[in-house]
Structure 1
């Protein structure tokens, strides 16, 4: 049987602080990778010098591309992914850490699950919750329930992506089917889009094992910060849900998704809005509703 080749798609931008730790963790894998494709998006710090140093030490491994102009986070990742030649491609951020058995474990998983095109693993946390929670626990996601692809698709469409790019691996053939990215909006970044497509096609797999460490810090380009959570009024929540319903309709059309997911979400919003209106006396109920619909224009359902 032919050897499965492994590519790493790594994007950098002003990542000098943590980049070396990330690269060292890739180079320390029990199952070595075959290539590390790096697309730098015009860093102005010491990032490019660090990359050049590693390339000089491992010329057969590193393929480095410096963008002439800044592409932005999503387009840069799309470029890096498209340049990978391996059978199995690992997405990689510039500021995290891989556990030594990550490649070996994921390679075995894909061999045991030939129908899976994209897989995500759990993560330890570096930062506020270091050693206290995993990434999935922080997101209140429980893999032991063994959700189906349909259930996961509904969950992430309503609640947002809970599988960051640095936890993903994708088969080359699957990637070929899913590129170019459609880039529907700024919320639907590259990893989110790939996951939606894989879930739609019943090709997504979960690996309930911590195979890397996700770093929480203020300089993240994209990421989850627990302190960004805040209490909001019920009306604000309804407004946000209403706006999200419009996005969900867009995603449903763009990715040919089951329309029932959006329809069920619309009904859920309507039910919560009805409960909200019941807090007002009957004479005021219609006034509040008309203001919300026509003056504030926050109702899209």
Structure 2
């Protein structure tokens, strides 16, 4: 696919932490893109292995400038805050997010740039825009696990409404591209941000600026040290039920539903609309009936009957945490 005149400058931001085993392969994929980035910006989160040494090696041997941000503080930031730091340091009109351990198709950037150009033609570049794609799953050795992350998860990535995204994230950061307007509106991340890609998706969703590419553009590596892995939704459901039964049920339920609700509340408090923010606040009512009727009025739903039923059962069973 040729993007011709629609090709514009982009950069890649990559968060690393103890990624020595895989980071070389990821960097090679980025440097061999059919449309190369103007810069690879990396923030390491206090790796204890040789990740930083590998990054220094590539700084000396890459045709694309590689900039390594200095360490910040004495403790690890975690993935979400590390990506926030990278986005704060980014400068290009378009930004792609990279994990340290995946394998990109060599035309990934070209395809996402093309989708971004189409989205800009429809909505304009002044809106917060984000394009994302499906992913294949591979194991630590690169062997195929699943041809589609979204199908494995039982997700419907075309659901791009603000509250739909708020209830169920469908955007995987390492398979996405965002424009400068989205970066600027998303920063700074609130304390309630659960995942960097989920927060970015909310920002773009409010502007109606999400677009989805059905075909995978990369291979998403699954291994023991993944921050966020891909567990099939049926297994995920069984694990959550087991967690409720085996431990303090109320505490587990609160932890399951509260973070996402709090993240949306923080977004609405910042960006509005104010009437929706006021209605959303009723989900913390002490009255089970008020919580239930509010959720129904808002039309809240997750992807699939079982997820949605679980959410409503949890909301009726206990009041979400307020912080």
Pairing of 1:108-147 with structure 2 (within 5 A): 108-114=114-120, 115=123, 117-127=129-139, 130=144, 132-143=146-157, 146-147=158-159
Alignment of 1:167 with 2:167, yes or no, is no
Q: State which of 198, 202, 211 in structure 2 corresponds to 1:205.
A: 211
The change in CA–CA distance for 1:183 and 1:120 in structure 2 (over 3 A counts) is farther
- Structure 2 residue aligned with 1:94: 100
- Structure 2 residue aligned with 1:283: none
C-alpha contact (below 8 Å) 1:36/1:61 kept by paired residues: yes
- Structure 2 residue aligned with 1:254: 266
CA distance in 2, matches of 1:109, 1:246: 34
Superposed displacement of residue 28, structure 1: 1.1
The change in CA–CA distance for 1:18 and 1:101 in structure 2 (over 3 A counts) is same
- Structure 1 residue aligned with 2:195: 189
CA distance in 2, matches of 1:46, 1:248: 35
CA distance in 2, matches of 1:272, 1:29: 43
Q: State which of 151, 154, 166 in structure 2 corresponds to 1:157.
A: 166
Superposed displacement of residue 89, structure 1: 0.1
CA distance in 2, matches of 1:272, 1:22: 39
> Aligned residue pairs: how many?
272
C-alpha contact (below 8 Å) 2:14/2:83 kept by paired residues: yes
Pairing of 1:261-300 with structure 2 (within 5 A): 263-264=294-295, 299-300=318-319
RMSD: 3.5
Superposed displacement of residue 5, structure 1: 0.8
CA distance in 1, matches of 2:296, 2:258: 11
CA distance in 2, matches of 1:96, 1:41: 18
The change in CA–CA distance for 1:183 and 1:224 in structure 2 (over 3 A counts) is farther
> Which ranges of structure 1 fall in alignment gaps of 5 or more residues?
277-291
- Structure 2 residue aligned with 1:219: 225
CA distance in 1, matches of 2:253, 2:296: 9
CA distance in 1, matches of 2:242, 2:227: 28
The change in CA–CA distance for 1:39 and 1:142 in structure 2 (over 3 A counts) is same
Q: Which shows bigger deviation, 1-10 or 222-231?
A: 222-231
Superposed displacement of residue 165, structure 1: 1.2
Q: Secondary structure at the match of 1:136?
A: helix
Superposed displacement of residue 36, structure 1: 0.1
Superposed displacement of residue 26, structure 1: 0.6
Q: State which of 27, 30, 55 in structure 1 corresponds to 2:34.
A: 30
CA distance in 2, matches of 1:47, 1:24: 15
Residues 174-211 of structure 1, C-alpha deviation per residue, up to 9 Å, x if partnerless?
Answer: 211211111315xx121111111211221111111211
- Structure 2 residue aligned with 1:40: 44
Superposed displacement of residue 132, structure 1: 3.6
Q: TM-score, normalised by structure 1?
A: 0.77
CA distance in 2, matches of 1:219, 1:123: 19
- Structure 1 residue aligned with 2:186: 178
Q: State which of 104, 111, 122 in structure 2 corresponds to 1:105.
A: 111
> Which ranges of structure 2 fall in alignment gaps of 5 or more residues?
284-293, 302-307
Greater Rg by CA? 1
CA distance in 1, matches of 2:263, 2:212: 23
C-alpha contact (below 8 Å) 2:182/2:200 kept by paired residues: no
CA distance in 1, matches of 2:51, 2:242: 43
Q: Secondary structure at the match of 1:33?
A: coil
